[in-house]
Amino acid sequence: MVTSSAPGKVYLFGEHAVVYGEPAVPCAIERRARVTAREIDEGLRIHSEDLQLDGFTVEYEGDGEGRPDVDASEPLLEAAMGYVNEAVAQVRDAADAPGAGFEIRIESDIPLGAGLGSSAAVVVAAIDAATRELGVELSPEAIAERAYQVEAAVQDGEASRADTFCSAVGGAVRVEGEDCRTVDGVGNLPFVIGYDGGAGDTGTLVAGVRSLREEYDFAADTVRAIGDVVREGESVLGTDDYETLGDLMDFNHGLLSALGVSSRSLDSMVWAARDAGAMGAKLTGAGGGGCIVALDDTEDALTALKYTPGCESVFRAELDTDGVRQE
């Protein structure tokens, strides 16, 4: 039996545009998914008690082939099981063990579908734990590539390498197409996360941006402008110029809003953080609901978000320089 863990992430800049080859800078945070894998005779059994913050329990038994048969009234859980199913297919391929069966237990402090990279963290940790259980040790980069294949399969080809690479290697990373690298010298940025208790469906949100981009040249320009914001942001990353970084986060949020991926609760958390003096604030991840990330080195945004209607929880997130690891 092997347990591995992998971190969630926030996007400093660049979500959605990264799907179309623009650069993005996600940062791993100290919130982890832990996956325990035990080899069994055949099939796939998945247990999870805390994939959602309200403690919903799911027990799934399947054969590890195709889409899992879980209660469709819980689409997020169905999606999560889909990710684990595909991850097991990658493990069997990596270990050249097509018939390997697994019992998988998932524990996670990362809310599902909330923009903090829960699916990538679960997939990365699952691939590491299950391959090790079969006696195969993959590098973080190899795990990242296999985890990306999982996300691409589950999201019908609409995925970037950003979430999975960041979770596998940890720290701040830069992803542009297939070029994935660690960004050195980024210290502990003063991130404050606000969570509205909700979630967005990544596949639907990505598809929405794709059709806007195909329909309107100005939507395609908006995607390119996000890339410009990232390139500008890179010039101050690693310095203590948080004011410029914050301004660029604000700009990035505006562009994501224009692409239709923000929501009333995300906007109100962003504005509450800004009104409290945060240097910048934006949604993180696919949007639609879930989390915002603000930059604030005082306690003010944290306190303001506690009292913001629609904000269910708020916490500070430290940069996690560790990626996937065996526990």
Instruction: Give, as ranges, the residues between 78 and 117 that touch ligand MEV (CB under 6 A).
Output: 117
- In three-state secondary structure terms, 280 is strand
- Residue 228 token pair: 């410009």
Residue (15 or 296) nearer to ligand MEV, CB: 15
Stretch that binds ligand MEV, among 96-104, 123-131, 155-163, 312-320 (CB under 6 A): 155-163
Q: Where are the alpha helices (DSSP H) in the chain?
A: 75-94, 118-133, 140-154, 162-169, 202-215, 217-234, 242-258, 264-275, 300-306
Chosen residue from 3, 6, 13, 16 binding ligand MEV by CB under 6 A: 16
162 contributes a contact to ligand MEV by CB under 6 A? yes
User: Whole-number minimum distance, CB 218 to ligand MEV, in Å?
Assistant: 20
Residue nearest to ligand MEV (CB): 160
Which amino acid makes up residue 185?
A: G
Pick from 54, 35, 26: nearest CA to 189: 26
Chosen residue from 12, 15, 112, 140 binding ligand MEV by CB under 6 A: 15
Q: Is 181 left (phi over 0), alpha (psi -120 to 50) or beta?
A: beta
Q: Contact 131/94 with Cβ under 8 angstroms?
A: yes
Is 120 within any annotated ligand binding site?
A: yes
226 contributes a contact to ligand MEV by CB under 6 A? no
User: Whole-number minimum distance, CB 160 to ligand MEV, in Å?
Assistant: 3
Residue 163 annotated among the catalytic residues of the structure: yes
131 contributes a contact to ligand MEV by CB under 6 A? no
Chosen residue from 4, 5, 131, 202 binding ligand MEV by CB under 6 A: 202
Alpha carbon of residue 2 to chain centroid? 23
Q: Contact 236/113 with Cβ under 8 angstroms?
A: no
**Residues catalogued as catalytic:** 163
Which residues define the annotated binding site for ATP?
Answer: 111-121
